[in-house]
Amino acid sequence: IKNIGVLTSGGDSPGMNAAIRAVVRGSIYYDIEVTGFLRGYEGLINNDFIPMDRKSVANIIQRGGTILKTARSEAFKTVEGRKTAYENLKANGIDALVVIGGDGTFTGANVFSKEFNFPIVGLPGTIDNDLAGTDFTIGYDSAINTVVDAVDRIRDTAESHDRLFIVEVMGRDSGLIALRSGIGVGAEAIMIPEANMNADDILHKLEHSRKDKASKIIIVAEGDDTGGAFKVGEILQEKYPHYDTKVSVLGHIQRGGKPTCMDRVLASRLGVVAVEGLIQGESGVMVGQINREIVFTPFDHAIKHINAEKVSSKWLKLIDILSF
């Protein structure tokens, strides 16, 4: 391998810069040139790239977002779009790719690498943690720490006013941000798509949780079945008129900010391993970490939704026990 292309695609996540840095420095260490494509797969199709050297990734490990920018590319979903991407890669002498993103990014990478027999290794860069083949994705730890920090502040004001707060966190199809941050903030209950809970279940939980507690916090994942935090707030306000019910939607602050040390270390390790994997002939796989060990997982499997496994009933029970 002489020249590795690197790109970030789909939703951004804190730690993507640390991952880019690791891919660039790892490539240079092994005497491989490295080229950064801008705006995900759009950069491959539009031939929009920058050669990268050691210095180009200096002072970025601590920065959120992605210096390579990211985008969703409709063109890459078409055969013609992917053909143009392949021709550009060939013309630029790029012989392998590292793609950093989530399930959509890996779906595209999987199609492309099979279509053109092109070596690709993926790095799990998403705040959702919804990929198989890794305990944690790059960005998840930063996102849940942002949630915890925000909800701690909400707890202060909730406690002062005897308020019931419904806080909505990101996760259209995945409740993993809600689950872990919910435990971290001592939430009374969480509502997530994987648990099939409705507002009645929450009412039941509130009735059985500590009566003497001045403030109550419910964490709702965006993709929850009830229809989001405002809907849940309406239902609970009706049932608990004595509580001053407030709704807070955290939104995009969850995607920004400095990556935590956990995410920086994970991104750094996986980024270098992605390069080493390509050198050893790996392709069509995502590199992840399970029980501290490095694992290569075929894209087909990495994108299988295994949230149910990661959520598992023991975590839900933990929340029940702690808020009882």
Rule CB under 6 A: choose which of 38, 103, 144, 224 binds ligand ATP.
103
Task: Give the C-alpha distances (Å, rounded to integers) separating 40 from 12, 132, 252.
Answer: 10, 22, 20
Cα–Cα nearest to 143, from 174, 122, 104: 174
Q: Does 9 bind ligand ATP (CB under 6 A)?
A: yes
Strand partners, 112: none
* Residue whose C-alpha is closest to residue 106's, from 262, 312, 305, 273: 305
| CB nearer ligand ATP, residue 103 or residue 188 | 103
Q: Pattern of binders to ligand ATP over 49-78, x per CB under 6 A?
A: -----------------------xx--xx-
Q: Which two structure tokens, joined as six digits, stand for 45?
A: 């199709």
- Measured CA to CA, the distance from residue 275 to residue 76 in angstroms comes to 24
Distance in angstroms (rounded) separating the CA atoms of residues 53 and 24: 7
For the packed helices 199-208 and 229-239, what is the interaxial angle rounded to 10 degrees?
50
8 A C-beta contact, residue 17 and residue 66: yes
Q: Contact region for ligand ATP (CB under 6 A) — 96-104, 197-205, 263-271, 273-281?
A: 96-104
Position among 41, 118, 165, 299 found at the interface with ligand ATP (CB under 6 A)? 41
Q: Does 105 bind ligand ATP (CB under 6 A)?
A: yes
Q: Pick the stretch among 15-23, 55-63, 107-115, 212-220 that binds ligand ATP (CB under 6 A).
A: 107-115
Kindly write down the DSSP assignment for every residue of 83-146, as one continuous string.
HHHHHHHHHTT--EEEEEE-HHHHHHHHHHHHHTT--EEEEEB-TT---TT-SS-BTHHHHHHH
Q: Which is nearer to ligand ATP, 1 or 111 (CB)?
A: 111
Would you say 260 is a known binding-site residue? no
CB of 117 to ligand ATP, least distance (A): 16
Q: Which of 12, 48, 95, 128 is catalytic?
A: 128
Residue 302 near residue 287, CB atoms below 8 Å: no
Specify the residue for token string 């406690």.
Answer: 159
Angle at 322 between CA 214 and CA 162, to 5 degrees: 10
Q: Could you say which of 15, 108, 259, 288 contacts ligand ATP (CB under 6 A)?
A: 108
Which residue from 1, 67, 111, 249 is in contact with ligand ATP, where contact means CB under 6 A? 111
181 binds ligand ATP (CB under 6 A): no
- Amino acid (1-letter code) at residue 286: M
102 near ligand ATP, judged by CB under 6 A: yes
- Indicate whether 83 belongs to the interface with ligand ATP (CB under 6 A): no
186 is in an annotated binding site: yes
Residue 225 annotated among the catalytic residues of the structure: no
Annotated binding site for substrate: 126-128, 163, 170-172, 222, 246, 252-255
Kindly list the residues in this chain that would bind ligand ATP in the complex (CB under 6 A): 9-11, 41, 72-73, 76-77, 101-105, 107-108, 111, 126, 128
Q: Which residues are annotated as a binding site?
A: 11, 21-25, 72-73, 102-105, 126-128, 155, 163, 170-172, 186-188, 211, 213-215, 222, 246, 252-255
